[in-house]
Amino acid sequence: MNKLAAFALGASMALGSMVGAAVAEPIVIKLGHSSEGDLRLPGSGRTACVAAMKNYLEVASAGGLQLEVHPDGALGNARTMIESAQTGVIQMVGAYTSIMVPFAPEISVTQIPYVFRDSLTAWKVMDGPLGDELAASFLKKTGLRVLAWPEGAGFRNIYSEKPVHSPADLQGMKMRVPENPGLLAMFRGWGANTVTITWSELYTSLQSGMAEGHDTELYSMYSKKLYEVNPYVTVTRHSYNLHPILINEEFFQSLTPENQTLILQAGDLCGRVGNAQSLLSSLVVKAAMEAEGATFYYPTDAEIEEFRALGQQPYVDTIVRKIGDEGQQWVDKILAASKAAEAEQ
């Protein structure tokens, strides 16, 4: 082959490669979640988590993977988005603990009252064998893989239209509680009358008197301005919340091994960034809420013990029945994992 022919062949191959690259379509991954879309402080850990994931995937894949994010519940409520991810209408979804429980009751062990001493303990447990085992169980039951267990704005507290210092103050109070059967049993153990109202309708329900109080995490409460109708905050820190990121397993398995690795790495990064943002927000949100008129009360050790004593066992009894034969095993596993994580600190 002479030099001219060799040059022509090389040029032809290069052009063919360029044309192939030009027509190759990126893989678009649709992700829906219910948190805000813009980064802020205080702000949602999930928003930061997803932003980190999007940036990593698109840079590391040189644009071959594109994460199309739909925040603010634009694709429906949390349950609808999980079901959409199951059917493949979307590929990924940002969930939260209570909405995962109806799909896999064992997830409820992560919200056992006072099971985690602090966020660091929870992070260690969920990043360890217990978290892996829960993820495997959820995948088997739903077809959705857990990519990360980022903190969902931390611990849940009690918010009400009048001061609450102990369970006695909850007697007969209409409390909005999410559809986690354990949380419903816990509040009933405290003497409250529970009502289930969707998150999107909570503000107007509190305003109208359909509910007198609710429980959620500080930032979640702040972001929806619920302090305007429930200005009293009782810092019970009774249950921990997670905002897992889920991906359709069939879609995940359709990817190349290289892209699967990028997805897993992005999930790991997402979890770490989400935890950091959640912790930072918890440090500043109290001042932001007080500036808006919220009043905080920190129960004494004796009052916290009363909340634990009256609320933990009804929660555990309920979820053990819901989970079934392995219910007590799951409870024992998370209690042991939490104790081991505390010992490592």
Question: Over the stretch 328-338, which tens digit does the pLDDT of each residue have?
Answer: 999 999 999 99
Cβ count within 10 A of residue 55: 14
Task: Give which of 226, 153, 208, 211 is closest to 177, Cα–Cα.
Answer: 211
The total of structural domains in the chain comes to 1
pLDDT in tens, 14-62: 444 444 444 579 999 999 999 999 999 999 999 999 999 999 999 999 9
Task: Give which of 281, 299, 156 is closest to 215, Cα–Cα.
Answer: 156
Q: Per-residue pLDDT for 310 more than 70?
A: yes
Answer whether residue 1 is part of any domain: no
Interhelix angle for 301-323 vs 327-344, to 10°?
140
CATH of the domain at 101: 3.40.190.170
Q: Per-residue pLDDT for 182 more than 50?
A: yes
How far apart are the C-alpha atoms of 61 and 73, rounded to whole Å?
27
pLDDT in tens, 85-142: 999 999 999 999 989 999 999 999 999 999 999 999 999 999 999 999 999 999 999 9
Position 345 scores a pLDDT of 83
Position 20 scores a pLDDT of 45
The torsion defined by the Cα of 199, 205, 209 and 214, in degrees rounded to 10, comes to 10
Task: State the burial class of residue 283 (Cβ atoms within 10 Å of its Cβ: 0-12, 13-18, 19+).
Answer: exposed
Before 244, cis peptide (omega within 30)?
no
Answer whether residue 32 is part of any domain: yes
How far apart are the C-alpha atoms of 156 and 291, rounded to whole Å?
21
Burial 202-229 (b: 16+ CB within 10 A, else e): bbebbeeeebbbbbbbbbbbbbeebbeb
pLDDT in tens, 223-254: 999 999 999 999 999 999 999 999 999 999 99
CA distances from 276 to 43, 116, 153, 154, 266 (A): 11, 17, 10, 11, 15
Answer whether residue 3 is part of any domain: no
Q: Per-residue pLDDT for 10 more than 50?
A: no
Position 257 scores a pLDDT of 98
Answer whether residue 9 is part of any domain: no
Cβ count within 10 A of residue 119: 16
Answer whether residue 6 is part of any domain: no
For β-strands 174-176 and 193-195, DSSP reports them as parallel
Quote the strand ranges of the chain, DSSP E: 27-32, 65-70, 92-94, 144-148, 151-160, 174-176, 193-195, 213-217, 232-242, 245-248, 295-297
Answer whether residue 198 is part of any domain: yes
Answer whether residue 84 is part of any domain: yes
> pLDDT averaged over the chain?
93
Answer whether residue 34 is part of any domain: yes
Residue 294's pLDDT band, with cuts at 50, 70 and 90, is very high
Burial 104-115 (b: 16+ CB within 10 A, else e): bbbbbbbbbbbb
Domain residues for 205?
A: 26-344
Q: Per-residue pLDDT for 9 more than 70?
A: no
Cβ count within 10 A of residue 162: 11
CA distances from 298 to 165, 304, 312 (A): 8, 9, 19
